[in-house]
Chains A and B, each alone.
Chain A
Amino acid sequence: MSLKEKLVSSFMAFEDTVDVNSSIHDIRTEAIKTFEAEGFPSKRQENWKYTSLNSILKQDYSVFPKSENALEFKDVKKYFIHEIDSYKIIFIDGKYSSHLSQTTHDGLDVCLMSAALSKPKYKVIIDNYFNKIATKDSLSSLNTAFSMEGAYINIPKNKLVDKPIQIIHFSTGNEAAMLLQPRNLIVVNENAHVQIIERHQSLTENPVLTNSVTEIFANKRAIVDYYKIQNDKPSASLIDSTFINQKQESLAKVHTFSFGGKLVRNNLEFYQNGERIDSTMKGITIIGDKQHVDHNTLVHHIEPNCESHQDYKGIFDDSSTGVFNGKVLVDKLAQKTNAFQANNNILISDKATINTKPQLEIFADDVKCSHGCTIGQLDDSAMFYLRSRGIPEKEAKALLMFAFSNTVLDSVKIPEIKNRITQIIANKLGVNIGFDL
């Protein structure tokens, strides 16, 4: 049985466990039909041209976790940004871990999707927001069909959330191979501010495939600052689809740090439904071996006087491959749009590959749009300069990579995240650089 067939038949079993009278039952049923009709994406599709899922779809994934597994905080502490106080929504093998979590209903809802989908008091929000911005492509539909658990965050009007919220999905290897499909919904109401850190972390050598969908709604003048830290095991793969709907004068920023995993696909889509919106997406990708990271971004400028900024840096070693496919769509109505996109890459080895494709579709005539992509090597004269100061080759390379990534790190608002990222980079490069950036 192929994975697709297995999933379609598993849906019947899944239906037995959920309330078929709930309002989202129809949404789930519709979604599984879409998935059944379309199947997994293939390289024949334009935006999957450089990313093949074949190698990861061969596994016989368990679709539902059989047993619960407990973790002690001290054993997984390093995956948290533990230096700061934060709210935490933690999942182990797809199940909520109350032991590791720290949620609150004190003026804001930081809780569980399973609760939000089943309890009447959340119905209005679910009806208004759930599955409203996620695209109906096959992988998002697959997630929607099985949507059950994840983070549910609702920040009320004028609320400045006092500390960041960390969402971490652990997998423990209880199953030989596991498919996880977390579903997150984040609603940030008028004038509210929130910072969110998201991570998917396997603790096992067993294959894990995560097909995650996150919907974010930034309402009028809301500020959303979102950090994705991807530094997973070589046996783990991630398809992350994040959709952001912005209302007027809102500001949404997503930083994606991709350092690990076997295959990572980031679909990141911004929809600007209002004026004077600012959307920023930045990323640093540093991979090696046979790793593959694909950034597939979209900014849809729908209304006038908005801005978007994209800045993705990639460093590729060994036989790793990268993809950047950045689409900027400017509607006819969206006059005075400022849209900037940059994708700069360094190939360290002769066998590494990057496919980068800016795609600008502009239907308005009074806009400022720019894009630039570069592919290069580390600068020899810069290397000589650093080495002539006594800095060994490996450390010199690392310093140049930090310098190269600096424009992305620069806008990270939480210093502990910046420190963690520089630490991860230093570990990854096998250097111990005694400085703080």
Chain B
Amino acid sequence: MLKINNLHASIGDKAILKGINLEVKPGEVHAIMGPNGSGKSTLASVIAGKEEYEVTEGSILLENEDIEELAAEERAHKGVFLSFQYPVEIPGVSVTNFIKTAINATRKAKGLDDMPAKDMLKMIRDKSELLEIDRKFLSRSLNEGFSGGEKKRNEIFQMAMLEPKLAILDETDSGLDIDALRIVSNGVNKLKSKDNAVIVITHYQRLLDYIVPDFVHVLLNGKIVKSGGKELAHELEAKGYDWIKEEVNA
């Protein structure tokens, strides 16, 4: 599904990613952990196509196609989805209208007509139930005045509607209380299939109790320095990152 080879990326003169290698297969859940400033969010943004970052070396392959030259929307059309750590507020555009616009833009890119209104409504109803989202919520302006939890739930709602092949969840657990965390994780788990894949970026092991990863990677100073199974997350939770730093330095 996703194959990242020796990826280097920088913003301005500052190198942030310094040779990332990562392979994600369909049906897998990968967790990327690491201390602040290690490059986790940058990796997410670079995969999704944020233009501020310059890829200086290496490649990103999605289903064997190099997507490095593609614009963010083209990557979205190919099935990349990024759940934002800080979703943007768009006053005057309702959640429903926004998601309709996004879905129909993707369909148009694929040469399809707009989704019939009836189908759209049904899909919105089904997916909002899945995430325990109130109908009133859907007519509110996108993210405007949303609580932290509402914003994250809305991100996962969009993911549910867009049905991506590769979903990257950037610190989706931050700002969530236990109930919201449970609802959001349940949603993600229900959306998981053998054909799609999820990358979970997080500081804490907590989220990984709900969304159980097949692989855990530790990102340190722009490189993946250690990979393992889900037990690695528990080890990090117990021991912090210092022991890994020592291992790397040794």
Q: How far is the CA of A382 from the CA of B105 in the complex (A)?
A: 17
Residue of A390, A403, A407 touching B106 (CB-CB under 8 A): A390
**Partner-contacting stretch, out of B85-93, B201-209, B226-234:** B85-93
Chain B: which residue is nearest A385 at the CB level? Answer: B88
Which 6 A-B pairs rank lowest in CB-CB distance, beginning with the nearest? Answer: A406-B92, A390-B76, A435-B97, A387-B72, A390-B106, A389-B102
Q: Does A430 contact B (CB under 8 A)?
A: no
Contact sample, A vs B, 6 pairs, CB 8 Å cutoff: A384-B49, A387-B71, A387-B76, A389-B162, A391-B105, A392-B71
Give 1 or 0 for each of B90-132: 1 = CB within 8 Å of chain A CB: 1111000110111111100100001000000000000000000
Interface size on A, residues (CB 8 A): 30
Interface size on B, residues (CB 8 A): 37
Give 1 or 0 for each of B22-41: 1 = CB within 8 Å of chain A CB: 00000000000000000000
Q: Does B68 contact A (CB under 8 A)?
A: no
Residue of B52, B88, B97, B102 touching A390 (CB-CB under 8 A): B102
Q: Please state if B92 and A434 are interface contacts (CB–CB under 8 Å).
A: no
Q: Please state if A391 and B101 are interface contacts (CB–CB under 8 Å).
A: yes
A residues within 8 A CB of B158?
389
* Closest CB in chain A relative to B190 CB, distance in Å: 21
B residues within 8 A CB of A406?
91-92, 141
Q: Please state if A387 and B49 are interface contacts (CB–CB under 8 Å).
A: yes
A residues within 8 A CB of B71?
387, 392-393
Q: Does B165 contact A (CB under 8 A)?
A: no
* Closest CB in chain A relative to B16 CB, distance in Å: 16
Give 1 or 0 for each of B58-99: 1 = CB within 8 Å of chain A CB: 000000000000011101110011101011101111000110
Supposing A387-B71, A389-B76, A393-B73 touch, asked if A434 and B101 sit within 8 A by C-beta, the answer is yes
Chain B: which residue is nearest A408 at the CB level? Answer: B92
* Closest CB in chain B relative to A418 CB, distance in Å: 11
* Closest CB in chain B relative to A430 CB, distance in Å: 15
B residues within 8 A CB of A396?
73
B residues within 8 A CB of A387?
49, 71-73, 76
Give 1 or 0 for each of A383-416: 1 = CB within 8 Å of chain B CB: 0111111111101100110110111011000000
Supposing A389-B102, A391-B101, A434-B100 touch, asked if A402 and B93 sit within 8 A by C-beta, the answer is yes
Q: How far is the CA of A98 from the CA of B60 in the complex (A)?
A: 68
Q: How far is the CA of A392 from the CA of B93 in the complex (A)?
A: 16
A residues within 8 A CB of B72?
384, 387-388
B residues within 8 A CB of A433?
101
Q: Please state if B90 and A379 are interface contacts (CB–CB under 8 Å).
A: no
Residue of B52, B82, B90, B114 touching A434 (CB-CB under 8 A): B114
Give 1 or 0 for each of A422-437: 1 = CB within 8 Å of chain B CB: 0000000000011111
Q: Please state if B76 and A388 are interface contacts (CB–CB under 8 Å).
A: yes
Q: Which of A391, A410, A433: most chain B Cβ within 10 A?
A: A391
Q: How far is the CA of A391 from the CA of B102 in the complex (A)?
A: 5
Chain A: which residue is nearest B100 at the CB level? Answer: A435
Q: Which of B84, B90, B100: most chain A Cβ within 10 A?
A: B90
Residue of A380, A386, A410 touching B92 (CB-CB under 8 A): A410
Q: Please state if B51 and A384 are interface contacts (CB–CB under 8 Å).
A: yes
Give 1 or 0 for each of B134-151: 1 = CB within 8 Å of chain A CB: 000000010000000000
B residues within 8 A CB of A402?
92-93
* Closest CB in chain B relative to A110 CB, distance in Å: 34
Q: Does B181 contact A (CB under 8 A)?
A: no
Q: Please state if A380 and B88 are interface contacts (CB–CB under 8 Å).
A: no
Q: How far is the CA of A435 from the CA of B103 in the complex (A)?
A: 12
Residue of A386, A388, A437 touching B48 (CB-CB under 8 A): A388
Q: How far is the CA of A427 from the CA of B26 in the complex (A)?
A: 42
Q: How far is the CA of A93 from the CA of B72 in the complex (A)?
A: 50
B residues within 8 A CB of A382?
88, 90
Q: Does B245 contact A (CB under 8 A)?
A: no
B residues within 8 A CB of A409?
92
A residues within 8 A CB of B80?
388
Q: Please state if B102 and A403 are interface contacts (CB–CB under 8 Å).
A: no
A388-B50, A390-B102 given. 4 additional CB < 8 A pairs?
Answer: A381-B88, A384-B51, A390-B109, A436-B97
* Closest CB in chain A relative to B155 CB, distance in Å: 10
* Closest CB in chain A relative to B124 CB, distance in Å: 13
Residue of B49, B52, B104, B114 touching A380 (CB-CB under 8 A): B52
Chain A: which residue is nearest B48 at the CB level? Answer: A388
Q: Please state if A403 and B49 are interface contacts (CB–CB under 8 Å).
A: no
Q: How far is the CA of A382 from the CA of B81 in the complex (A)?
A: 15
B residues within 8 A CB of A388?
48-50, 72-73, 75-76, 80-82, 84
B residues within 8 A CB of A380?
51-52
Q: How far is the CA of A391 from the CA of B141 in the complex (A)?
A: 17
* Closest CB in chain A relative to B123 CB, distance in Å: 15
* Closest CB in chain A relative to B154 CB, distance in Å: 12
Interface residues of A in 145-176 (CB under 8 A from B): none
Q: Please state if B87 and A390 are interface contacts (CB–CB under 8 Å).
A: no
* Closest CB in chain B relative to A263 CB, distance in Å: 29
B residues within 8 A CB of A391?
73, 101-102, 105
Supposing A384-B50, A435-B100, A437-B97 touch, asked if A390 and B90 sit within 8 A by C-beta, the answer is no
Q: Please state if B91 and A390 are interface contacts (CB–CB under 8 Å).
A: no
Q: Please state if A395 and B93 are interface contacts (CB–CB under 8 Å).
A: no
Q: Please state if A395 and B92 are interface contacts (CB–CB under 8 Å).
A: no
